[in-house]
Amino acid sequence: MLIAGNWKMNGDPSSLEEFGRMIARAPEAAAKGVDLVVCPPAVLIAKCADRATVSMIAVGGQDCHPDPSGAHTGDISAEMLAACGARYVIVGHSERRTDHGETDALVAKKAEAAQRGGLVAIVCVGETEAERDAGDALAVVKRQIEGSLPATLDPAGLVLAYEPVWAIGTGKTPSIDDIAEMHAHIRALLESRFPAVPVLILYGGSVKPGNAAEILAVDNVDGALVGGASLKADDFLGIALAAPNHG
Ligand code: PGA
């Protein structure tokens, strides 16, 4: 089970204290078979990674450029993230898709770049509220998976995050039946694309300590991608410790 925190554009050097509290409690999560990843803003990655010396908590980026280096002002490559100690990177988050017009084709290039740089790619997909209301959620996610995951990816370095756009930061979550249906759908798509190695599937969107136990117990939910509730160690660990026991 993997619980990944996405701090988004939140945090400053004082957040390192909160991250220190997460490190201190990572062994509690590890005892339940839960790995932790924290994706702070880029300016804090190196400092967080320097502190994250226990193996059960890793640091990740929130985005990467497809190229390893070059004239791309403001961008950061997977290789640069890895050199600063990151082990993961989120690509294709819906906020990147919306704020920066990222397409499935670009997300696919970023996922390949992540693996080229030696990082695990956390690739995000998810439907909008209008798409769900129209009954298109399964088809939209299928299209995003086909477009965002090149067959050349190494499934061992891949995590898929299902995040319904309308559940992100809203306090709303799909029903447990809807999560189960979507995760079974994603499992089948991933198994046909990458038959040899199982890919972890995370649920994301308003996961909190209070709803984590129910969500993490759903079949084919292998963890969570957590935004707001990953900013505080108590909430983040509360989610991790709500996971069903994996030993
Ligand atoms: P949230 O964000 O937990 O604040 O809803 C989830 C995400 O965007 O990854």
Q: Which residue has the tokens 């059960």?
A: 56
Classify residue 177 by burial, with Cβ atoms within 10 Å: 0-12, 13-18, 19+: exposed
Report the domain count for the chain: 1
Quote the percentage of the chain above a pLDDT of 90.
Answer: 96
Does a structural domain hold residue 92?
yes
- d(CA 108, ligand 1 centre) in Å: 21
**What mean pLDDT do residues 186-207 have?**
96
Number of H helices, E strands in the chain: 10, 8
Q: Which of 18, 95, 102, 163 is catalytic?
A: 163
**Range of the structural domain that residue 82 is part of:** 2-66+74-241
132-172 residue pLDDT tens: 999 999 999 999 999 999 989 999 999 999 999 999 999 99
Distance from C-alpha of 114 to C-alpha of 134, rounded to nearest angstrom: 34
**Residue 35 Cα, ligand 1 centroid: separation in angstroms?**
18
Whether 164 is covered by a domain: the verdict is: yes
Give the model confidence (pLDDT) of 60-77 as tens digits: 999 999 999 999 999 999
pLDDT 10s digits, 206-225: 999 999 999 999 999 999 99
111 belongs to a structural domain: yes
Q: Which of 50, 47, 2, 57 is nearest to 25 (CA)?
A: 57
Q: With respect to residue 166, please indicate whether it lies within any of the assigned structural domains.
A: yes
Instruction: Please check the confidence at residue 247 and state whether its pLDDT lies above 60.
Output: no
Q: Is 207 in the pocket of ligand 1 (CB under 6 A)?
A: yes
Domain presence at residue 16: yes
**Residue 149 included in any domain:** yes
Type of residue at 230: S
Determine if the pTM surpasses 0.85: yes
To the query of whether residue 129 is one of the catalytic residues in this protein, the response is no
Q: What is the pLDDT of residues 86-114, one digit of tens each?
A: 999 999 999 999 999 999 999 999 999 99
**Does some domain include residue 247?**
no
Q: What is the CATH number of the domain that holds 183?
A: 3.20.20.70
Contact 229, 16 (CB under 8 A): no
- Determine, yes or no, domain membership for 102: yes
Quick one: pLDDT band at residue 246, thresholds 50, 70, 90?
A: low
Nearest to 78 by CA among 125, 49, 42: 42
